Amino acid sequence: MKTSLVAVDLHGQGCADCAVRGFSVCASLDQFEMREFEHLSRRVNFASCETVFAQEDTSSFFYNLLDGVLRLYKLLPDGRRQIVGFVLPGDFVGMTTEERHGFSADAIGPVTVCQFAKMPFARFADDKPNLLRRMNELAVHELNQARDHMVLLGRRSAEEKVATFLVGWRDRLVELRGPSNIVPLPMSRQDIADYLGLTIETVSRTFTKLEREGIIAILPGGVSLRDSARAEALAAA
């Protein structure tokens, strides 16, 4: 909720050695473009629970997540919250033509982002079809994810929701750090509930139920997918 006072700003110490270089937006840039691009960005750190940007903020920056996890959420005036996505390293956030962000982003645990000022970035991208195409690709991909999530929110039971979330989250981590059925869950139960359109109690009960059924084991800080076939079946059907 609070905004960073202690964020350490260090100029992007080269994109060449960036952890995210190979698979983020920047993957579409050649060597020379990259050289220029470096000067548009700077690294910023945020502590756990700090807000990277808020719903009502003017959208003057884009961010590329380098390390950590973000939650993106929207709040209704009465405080109800819907988490619209979790962000992992390599994901690009906040790209919008609109005046304001429309959603908030905050850090789940310590986070490092690569921050771009909107205007210089837009000027840079303006005549780079490869970058523009890559950004399109990312937007379309996110849109597809968003639509899948609509199906989940509108038409699935609590058990299906939780199973789908666990399988989906595992798959994203597998892509990032290699195969494993141990699924770390850095976000709280409340976060999971607000992502799935449930209450914290229902999430907790559903975890317990899945454990009783032998589908998962609940570990400190995460779960293990004991029977991923059955979890995937719940997620698919």
Partner DNA sequence: GACTTTCATTGATCTGAATCAAAGACCGGT
Partner DNA sequence: ACCGGTCTTTGATTCAGATCAATGAAAGTC
User: Footprint of a copy of itself on this chain (CB under 8 A)?
Assistant: 74, 76-78, 80-82, 84, 95-98, 102-103, 126-129, 132-133, 135-137, 139-144, 146-151, 153-156, 194, 196-197, 236-237
Which span (16-24, 34-42, 134-142, 186-194) binds DNA, by CB under 7 A?
186-194
Structure tokens that stand for 190 in this block: 């409340």
Structure tokens that stand for 52 in this block: 């990277």
| Total site size for DNA, rule CB under 7 A | 19
Q: In 10 A of CB 7, how many CB atoms? A: 17
d(CA 149, CA 50): 26
> How far is the CA of 205 from the CAs of 33, 185, 189, 195, 202, in angstroms?
51, 17, 11, 16, 5
Which span (22-30, 84-92, 134-142, 203-211) binds DNA, by CB under 7 A?
203-211
Looking up tokens 């379309």 gives 140
CB of 220 to DNA, least distance (A): 5
By beta-carbon proximity to DNA, the closer residue of 101 and 156 is 156
By beta-carbon proximity to DNA, the closer residue of 10 and 218 is 218
Q: In 10 A of CB 51, how many CB atoms? A: 17
By beta-carbon proximity to a copy of itself, the closer residue of 42 and 230 is 230
Q: Does 189 bind DNA (CB under 7 A)?
A: yes
Q: Does 79 bind DNA (CB under 7 A)?
A: no
User: Do 59 and 105 touch, CB atoms closer than 8 A?
Assistant: no
Strands 81-87 and 9-11, by their bridges, are unpaired
Using CB under 7 A as the binding rule, the residues of this chain from 121 to 180 that contact DNA are: 157-159
To 10 degrees, the CA torsion angle through 4, 123, 96, 12?
-30
Using CB distances below 5 to 8 A depending on partner kind, what does residue 218 bind out of DNA, a copy of itself, none?
A: DNA
Contact positions vs DNA (CB under 7 A): 157-159, 188-190, 197-205, 207-208, 218, 220
